[in-house]
Amino acid sequence: MSEFLDLHGKVAVVTGAASGLGRAVARGLVREGARVVLGDIDKAGLERTARELGDAARWHRTDVARRDDVAALFRVCDEAFGPVEILATCAGIISSAPLAVMTEEEWDRVLAINTKGTFNTLRLAARHLRDGGRIVLDRKNTLVIASGISNGAGGALLADGAAMLQGPLGALPPLLTLERLLFRLIAAAFVLLTCTLATGFAFAETLFGQPLRFDHKTVFALLSWATFALLLAGRHFRGWRGRTALRWTLTGFVMLLLAYVGSRFVMEVLLGRS
């Protein structure tokens, strides 16, 4: 089980779970410890996926274009495992008919499944979602995580889900790319911090006319350096990411902040001197 996705005990609903992306997502969720409720129009495929996933999975034959089917899917989830916390909407179809000959019925069918089906699923999920749940939308082969959606505010946010993805969120690179960029920045900043500390130690006397003092600035700067060193080592050797990486990054940042601007805070709050 990876550090990033510790989904032990989480409850997920996956549509389109009889094959392709949905099936792969369901497998991945169970591998990371979640329990899943599978929905798809293809009953035989659903049974196959559910058999493979064993006790961690339940299924309900669902046509996502039909609101009642989707409502029943979430009821199965409530009864089997409790309120949904993670949702992956992978049900969908591609029409290969060329535009010039595509019938209106075909157009309506695609929209009914891909657009209205996703709307049905998101809207009902918002009603059943446990506070702090996550919505995972399949968007052209990219998984986008919309967080901070809770039962209370969920309705409004989710109803606007498609627009939200077209807006600022849609303009962002994938999360994993952002994470890689963050670590590159941290690595570059770590090299600079190392140079700063090394030159400070080496040339303090030349620059300031006195040897390096071990005051709170030096101590916090060293603690910050050690925190970032451990973070980069953890990333390299143990694949740290997600919340673990965030905690270490923020800790290192706060240490550095205290080293630079924290004289008063350290004297008055930490050391109790005025």
Ligand X SMILES: NC(=O)c1ccc[n+]([C@@H]2O[C@H](COP(=O)([O-])OP(=O)(O)OC[C@H]3O[C@@H](n4cnc5c(N)ncnc54)[C@H](O)[C@@H]3O)[C@@H](O)[C@H]2O)c1
79: left (phi over 0), alpha (psi -120 to 50) or beta: alpha
Asked if 41 is part of the footprint of ligand X (rule: CB under 6 A), the reply reads: yes
Asked if 221 is part of the footprint of ligand X (rule: CB under 6 A), the reply reads: no
Minimum CB distance to ligand X, residue 44 (Å): 10
Q: 81 to 120, contacts with ligand X by CB under 6 A?
A: 90-94, 113-114, 117
User: Which string of x and - marks every residue 131-160 that binds ligand X (by CB under 6 A)?
Assistant: -------x-xx-------------------
Minimum CB distance to ligand X, residue 27 (Å): 12
For the sheet containing 35-40, what is the strand order?
57-61, 35-40, 11-15, 86-89, 134-139, 142-146
How many angstroms separate the first and last alpha carbons of the chain?
Answer: 50
Q: Whole-angstrom Cα distance, residue 21 to residue 89?
A: 10
Contact 4, 234 (CB under 8 A): no
Select the span of 2-10, 41-49, 71-79, 213-221 touching ligand X (CB under 6 A): 41-49
Instruction: Tell which one of 22, 154, 161, 252 touches ligand X (CB under 6 A).
Output: 22
- Amino acid identity of residue 73, one-letter, is L
Residue whose CB is less far from ligand X, 92 or 133: 92
Half-sphere exposure of 263 (CA within 13 A, CB side): 2
User: Interface with ligand X by CB under 6 A: which residues?
Assistant: 15-16, 18-22, 40-42, 45, 62-65, 90-94, 113-114, 117, 138, 140-141
